[in-house]
Every structure is written in C-alpha cells, then in structure tokens.
Amino acid sequence: MKAALFYGTTTGNTGDIADKIKGSWDAGELELFDVADSSLSAAKDFDILIFAIPTWDYGEVQEDWLEVWNEVDQLDFSGKQAAFIGLGDQFGYPEWFVDAMGMLHDKIVAKGAEIVGHWSVEGYEFEESKALTDDKKHFIGLALDEDWQRDQTDERISDWLDQVKLELGVF
C-alpha cells in the first residue's frame, strides 16, 4: 500500500513531526508533501493518507493549509484510509486545542475517506476541541503539543503509529 503524508508548517514543528513519522514508518514507503509546494491532487495516487496540521491562534487553520483549503472539496477520497495529526497549544489556547485537525477531518470525511488512528484524550488538559470524537473520549487523530509536552512527542508518535499500522493491517 502506498502512503503519503501531507503537512503545512510555519514554525517548523509540523515539518519536524512529518520527518519523524517518515523515519518511523516501517510499513513501506511514505512520501512527504508540504502543502506549500504540492497540490493535494497527488493524494489520488496513494491508498493511505496522513494529514498533519497545526492550529493557529484562536482555532485557525495554518496559512499553508488555507491556500489549499478549498482544493479539499474538489477531491474524492473514497477508498482511501486517512489518519490525522494535529499540533496545538493546550494551555495557551485551551478552548481551541487542535481545532484545525478536526476541521480538516470533517472535510476529508465528507469526501469519502475511511478514518483510522483515533487517540485518547488522557494526558491532555484543555477545555474544548473540534477534534474530538462524538463521545469526547478520543481525538480524531494524534494530538501533539510541542509547546508544553514536547517530551512526550516521540513516545506518542511511536504508540500512535503502532496503532495506525494495526488498524490498517500493515503491521
């Protein structure tokens, strides 16, 4: 199965996470696409899609993702399996923690993708998030806080990737 990771980054944190995911992905090749330089239409060539998006300010979508935001609505993700990674600041912006991940998730689901990789909310402190499952016990993808919990990032990535690969049947 061919896999791709699409990401946008301003400070470099999301790009660093994309590189870590690629370095830890042992289920075949994983191709990286920075949305600042790539069209999302490349997704048609892959079976597995990972989307990494940071949340900015008060629940805003990162600027590179804003440039391709409407492109998502033009694509068909039917038959694709998708997973999400969201970066946010749970203490500085607790009412909007990883909101952009939830907003992107909703657009991708509406275009037919099957979602894998829900992640427990245990170990996080926040007030609200658009990236929660209906039961509010999980995020719809991996939530990372490089401002306050950077020391947990590597372990979270490793555990999440194991979970995703198991869900995908590529373990």
Q: Which residues pair with 139 in a beta bridge?
A: 119, 132
Is residue 25 over pLDDT 70? yes
Residues above pLDDT 90, as percent of the chain = 89
Is residue 171 over pLDDT 80? no
Residues above pLDDT 70, as percent of the chain = 99
Q: How many CA atoms lie within 13 A of 124 on its CB side?
A: 31
Is residue 122 over pLDDT 80? yes
Q: What is the pLDDT of residue 98?
A: 97
Give the chain's domain count: 1
Q: Which residue segment(s) compose the domain that 44 sits in?
A: 3-168
CATH of the domain at 148: 3.40.50.360
With 0-12 / 13-18 / 19 or more C-beta atoms within 10 angstroms meaning exposed / middle / buried, residue 113 is buried
Instruction: Give the DSSP letter of residue 30.
Output: E
Q: How many CA atoms lie within 13 A of 119 on its CB side?
A: 25
Calpha distance 121→100 (Å, rounded): 16
Q: What is the pLDDT of residue 73?
A: 94
pLDDT in tens, 36-59: 999 899 999 999 999 999 999 888
